[in-house]
Structure 1
Amino acid sequence: MSFKIAIIGAGSVGFTKKLFTDILCVPEFKGIEFALTDVSEHNLQMIKAILDRIVEANKLPTKVTATTDRRKALEGARYVISCVRVGGLEAYADDIRIPLKYGIDQCVGDTICAGGILYGQRNIPVILDFCKDIREVAETDAKFLNYANPMAMNTWAAIEYGKVDTVGLCHGVQHGAEQIAEVLGAKSPRELDYVCSGINHQTWFIELRLNGREIGKDELVAAFEAHPVYSRQEKLRIDVLKRFGVYSTESNGHLSEYLPWYRKRPDEIARWIDMSDWIHGETGGYLRYSTETRNWFETEYPQFLEAASKPIDPSKRSNEHASHILEALETNRVYRGHFNVKNDGVITNLPQDAIVESPGFVDRFGINMAAGITLPEACAATCISSINVQRMSVHAAISGDIDLLKLAVLHDPLVGAVSTPEEVWQMVDEMVVAQAAWLPQFAHAVPAAKERLSKSRVKTREWAGAAWRSVRSIEELRAEKAALKQAG
């Protein structure tokens, strides 16, 4: 087969390498073209060197190009994959640190909450630029696969305003299923059959069967509480399971941000989180992890390049959806997965304009969603709270309406549990001013926001959150890696 895949944000080196090797595990795809594009020429050259090394080591006819000219990369592409982070770590740091001044303690801050909403404001104008280029220079009816967060907002904007055939992809469902299979004693995750549905990062395992046997709430609770690791790392998630009756796909730290109950009191946060890894609830955990990963990669790049000389092993193909979707569309080998699409009847008790994440099947006719799913009422109520925030956030990003943006942040479940309207208004002004370079749609509102900030009397505090850890040095990371290697 011969077709072109464009990867926007290809400078996300580790993830691009994973997508690339996954796709080349499909025998029919050896001769396709990958067009890499990014705003960073430095990162582009690093990832191109790695992918070229893979192609050379495996004696493949695959073509790899790299350019900072996005439109050139998209020319003739049949598939476009986005994994961009608009504003990079500089803007992301503001997403975490500014809300902390107003008492809002986030672990990740990339989906909703104050950080996720501002992340969406930065991403959506760029997503619409991608869509314009796709419509104008890519293959007719090219498919846009969005991996970038905030998943629901980006996908909503691309479908509703970008007018491009778009699907949002995430790996939270697969990871949750792997946990459930493990606690139930399965030999392989494949023994677990499930229906998981909801919205991105708030998806719920509403049906579970292990080797055909139905698994109920009580058995699942007991299994998690008996597990020596998850019983400690997933305390909040297990508490939600007990109260809602179903398990959430999302990690302990992520889930804590989407609910108004667990992170609103600093003295209560420690009760629900675990500090063994960032993903279990650490304040600004993903910011720290991302910073350390970037620093590590820059320093250890020669080792990454050397590792690229190894043969591709199809048995190590990941469960990221992209390669499996492309395989199904191009070869008609059917793939079942969980996809982010416009609701339109997929989930009966969520708004029809929302972006939902739910089961579907892919073949040469496209992505075909299972329709008519009804969530448990508590799950639907929690999802609807986030959907209302997402809708306002998308509309604010499109219109540049700073008052609507403030209302979106005000209605966020965790923000509303922590902050007053006056605090929210000032916080949004501060975030818009700090991130003005990436928010062109709010340029007209920045001078007035600066003026309000100069006169504000809202008190803030210098606070590192309830569970902050400093970024580790390369030397510390090396020592930790060596210790783990010696222990294991």
Structure 2
Amino acid sequence: MAGGIKIATIGGGSSYTPELVEGFIKRYENLPVDELWLVDIPEGQEKLDTVGALAQRMVKRAGLPTKVILTTDRRAALDGADFVTSQVRIGRLPARVLDERIPLSHGMLGQETNGAGGMFKAFRTIPVILDFVREVQELAPEAWMINFSNPSGMIEEAILNYTDFDRAIGLCNVPINMHAGIARVLDVDESRLELQLQGVNHFVFATDVFVDGVSVIDEAVEKYAHVSEDEALSMKNFMSIPFSPAFIRGIRAIPCPYHNYYFHTDEMLSEELREFEEGNVRGEVVSRLEDELFEIYRDETLDIKPGQLEQRGGARYSDAACNLIESIHTNRGDIQYVDVRNNGCIEGLPSSSAVEVACRITADGPKPLATGELKPRIAGYVQMMKGFERMVVEAAITGDRDLAVAALEMNPLCPSDKLANVVVDELLEAHRRYLPQFA
């Protein structure tokens, strides 16, 4: 491709796409995207057409020469791409609702990326993403692949250990929200703050906090130990509960919001059971929100990203992807939080495994910043979650039902051996058409 940049977005019919387009528009000077290919499956054609038309209007309004191309031909989209982004949901939102409702029907937490729900999302998604990786290797071997399909960390784990592709980067909006939230608690500008992270996707801790390069972890821990419910780090897609001062001081770290599921399990379960009874599990709420968004997107006078998109739990995801792509393209050397191969960055976790850490972003990809030994106060839990992830990935590749049961039992959100068997079998049956490896 002469001069311009070609970007292929797999899952281009997603409701998040307008945020991605807005991100490319505002970075055009440093990241001149010549062609943005939005690709989806034939079943997603209507959504692709709707969101693609909005994308084209947004680019036109910005007065940019970027061509937005809509297609269901993934190979054409990938051919010669410089960057590939992936934002897919195999089985779409009805599958997410099953991931949430089936465990909850047995009194077990059902969540999109944690426990049984996260495990089955991984089972559906990993084989498909590995197919994408093989196509990228064939058609765009020099491309960087940015994946923000969930569960992002387990997908990165699979790519690192079951392919020889080393240009895939996992991305999540949780560390970005942590960065913003901790800056707010400390009352400093986000640009002055950097975090040291240790852990895995959706199970990560800030183990050091720097303002202008100087560690302020003691002050950060003390202030975070006393935050109100409104100030606690939170996500739009689930309830936020502050941790006790004793816990925060005791671990001398700041947990990500998803730790609510593990350290406030009773409260989270009781809230989700109430939503279950009301027909308001998160997947059902998001389905209604998506219907509203696409109704808004169909307005042919709309040519900007609508404010209602902020209500989706993944707000800032797409902007983070654009920021990462811009930093690679410009060799910016800034610090971003991504999922990459550990390679000794966190001593105490396997070298080949995916970890979520601070990286310096260069033209040669992310360079993880060494964190030293996994902090002893969080080590046991992080190692257990990494063990769970590795079992899930192996089961996703091999279709081993017994390994799936064992993996779920290893997860702290599973209350018993009996329930692990029941829930795995019900979810295998519910998702049968998306799980050929388990046939």
Task: Please tell me the TM-score bracket, short chain as reference.
Answer: 0.7 to 0.9
- Normalising to structure 2: TM-score of the pair? 0.86
Q: Does the C-alpha gap of structure 1 residues 100 and 179 become closer, same or farther in structure 2, counting only changes over 3 Å?
A: same
Contact 2:7 2:37 in 1 (8 A): yes
Equivalent position SS for 1:339: strand
* Residue of structure 1 in register with 2:288 after alignment: 292
> In structure 2, what is the Cα distance between the partners aligned to 1:159 and 1:305?
44
1:7–1:36 CA contact under 8 A, matched in 2: yes
Aligned to 1:234: 241
**Structure 1 residue aligned with 2:40, among 38, 41, 49?**
38
Residue 439 of structure 1, CA deviation: 0.6
Name the counterpart of 2:89: 85
Provide the C-alpha distance between the structure 2 equivalents of 1:309 and 1:256, rounded to a whole number of angstroms: 31
Q: Residue type of the partner of 1:359? A: A
- The amino acid that maps onto 1:136 is E
8 A contact 1:340–1:355 mirrored in 2? yes
Q: For residue 21 of structure 1, what is the aligned residue in structure 2?
A: 22
In structure 2, relative to structure 1, the CA distance for the partners of 1:237 and 1:68 (3 Å cut) is farther
Aligned to 1:334: 333
Q: How does 1:74-113 map to 2 (within 5 A)?
A: 74-106=78-110, 109-113=111-115
- 1:384-395 alignment to 2 at 5 Å? 384-395=383-394
- Alignment partners' CA distance in 2, 1:113 and 1:274: 14
The 2-side partners of 1:298 and 1:80 are apart by: 24
State how far apart, in whole Å, the 1-side matches of 2:191 and 2:412 are: 35
Q: Which moved more, 1:286-295 or 1:434-443?
A: 286-295
CA radius of gyration, larger in:
1
* Structure 2 counterpart of 1:246, from 253, 265, 288: 253
Alpha-carbon displacement from aligned partner over 1:99-151 (angstroms, at most 9, x marks no partner): 11221124xx232300000110000111111112112222x222111101111
Q: Distance in 2 between matches of 1:153 and 1:309?
A: 30
Provide closer, same or farther for how the CA distance between residues 413 and 235 of structure 1 changes in structure 2, counting only shifts above 3 A. Answer: same
SS in 1 for 2:346: coil
Of 54, 61, 64 in structure 2, the residue corresponding to residue 57 of structure 1 is 61
1:382 paired to 2:381: yes
Check the 8 A contact 2:25/2:59 in 1, yes or no: no
Q: Is the 8 A contact 2:196 2:206 kept in 1?
A: yes
1:355 maps to which residue? 354
SS in structure 1 opposite 2:373? coil
CA shift, 1:320, in A, is 3.6
Q: Which residue is equivalent to 2:11?
A: 9
**Alpha-carbon deviation of 1:199?**
1.1
**1:184-243 CA distances to partner (integer Å, 9 max, x unpaired)?**
222x22232332232111222111234566434466344552547226943248664243
What whole-Å deviation, never above 9, does each CA across 1:410-453 have from its counterpart, x for those lacking one? 111111xx2x212211211111011001111112xxxxxxxxxx
Once the two structures are overlaid, the 10-residue window that deviates more, 325-334 or 1-10, is 325-334
Contact 1:337–1:360 (CA under 8 A) maintained in structure 2: yes
Alignment partners' CA distance in 2, 1:99 and 1:239: 31
Closer, same or farther in 2 for the Cα pair 1:340/1:304, shift >3 Å?
A: farther
Q: State how far apart, in whole Å, the 2-side matches of 1:239 and 1:220 are.
A: 11
Q: 1:433 to 1:191 in 2, by over 3 A?
A: same
Question: Which shifted more, 288-297 or 208-217?
Answer: 208-217
1:45-92, Cα deviation, whole Å (9 max, x unpaired): 011101110121122111111111212211111211001111111111
8 Å Cα contact 2:194/2:213 also seen in 1: yes
2-structure distance, mates of 1:56, 1:65: 13
Relative to 1, partners in 2 of residues 1:375 and 1:333: Cα closer, same or farther, differing over 3 Å?
same
- Is the Cα contact below 8 Å between 1:49 and 1:305 reproduced in 2? no
CA RMSD of aligned residues (A): 2.8
Residue of structure 2 in register with 1:437 after alignment:
433
Q: What is the alpha-carbon distance in structure 1 between the residues aligned to residue 66 and residue 436 of structure 2?
A: 38
**Tell me, what secondary structure is at the counterpart of 1:4?**
strand
Superposition pairs for residues 383-462 of structure 1, below 5 Å? Answer: 383-415=382-414, 418=415, 420-443=416-439
- Where does the alignment leave 5 or more consecutive residues of structure 1 unmatched? 311-316, 444-488
Paired residues of 1:74 and 1:80 also in contact (CA < 8 A):
yes
Distance (Å, rounded) in 2 between the aligned partners of 1:382 and 1:304:
50
Q: Does 1:151 align with 2:185?
A: no
Structure 1 match to 2:259: 255
8 Å contact 2:97–2:284 — kept in the other structure?
Answer: no
Aligned counterparts of 1:174 and 1:237: Cα–Cα separation in 2: 23
Quick check: 1:329–1:363 contact (8 Å CA) kept in 2? yes
In 2, Cα distance between equivalents of 1:237 and 1:319: 33
In 2, are the aligned partners of 1:131 and 1:163 still within 8 Å (CA)?
A: no
**Number of aligned residues:** 415
Partners of 2:412 and 2:207 lie apart in 1 by 23
**Structure 2 counterpart of 1:478:** none
SS at match of 2:372: coil
- Give the superposition deviation at 1:373: 2.7
What is the Cα deviation at residue 28 of structure 1? Answer: 3.9
Give the whole-Å Cα distance in 2 for the aligned partners of 1:309 and 1:179.
24
Counterpart check, 1:368 vs 2:370: no
| Counterpart-to-counterpart distance in 1, 2:385 and 2:279 | 21
Checking the alignment, whether the CA contact within 8 Å between 2:94 and 2:283 is kept in structure 1 is no
Distance 1:228 1:269 in 2: 18
3-state SS, counterpart of residue 94 of structure 1:
helix
Q: TM-score, normalised by structure 1?
A: 0.78
Going from structure 1 to structure 2, the CA distance change for 1:150 and 1:240 (only over 3 Å counts) comes to farther
User: Does structure 2 conserve the Cα–Cα contact (< 8 Å) formed by 1:183 and 1:223?
Assistant: yes
CA distance in 2, matches of 1:309, 1:113: 33
Other structure's SS at 1:397 match: helix
- CA 1:128/1:334 → structure 2, altered by over 3 Å: closer, same or farther? same
Q: Distance in 1 between matches of 2:142 and 2:11?
A: 21
Q: Deviations over 1:364-410 (max 9, x none)?
A: 23321213532321322211111111111111111111111111111
Unaligned runs of 5+ in 2: 233-238, 307-315
The percent of aligned pairs where both chains have the same amino acid is 28
Q: Following TM superposition, by how much is the alpha carbon of 1:359 offset from its aligned partner in structure 2, in angstroms? A: 1.2
Q: Name which of structure 1's ranges 342-351 and 210-219 shifts more when overlaid on structure 2.
A: 210-219
Q: Following superposition of structure 1 onto structure 2, how do residues 318-333 of structure 1 map, counting pairs within 5 Å?
A: 320-333=319-332
Given the alignment of the two structures, is residue 202 of structure 1 paired with residue 203 of structure 2, yes or no?
yes
The reply to whether residue 126 of structure 1 matches residue 133 of structure 2 is no
2:427 partner amino acid: M
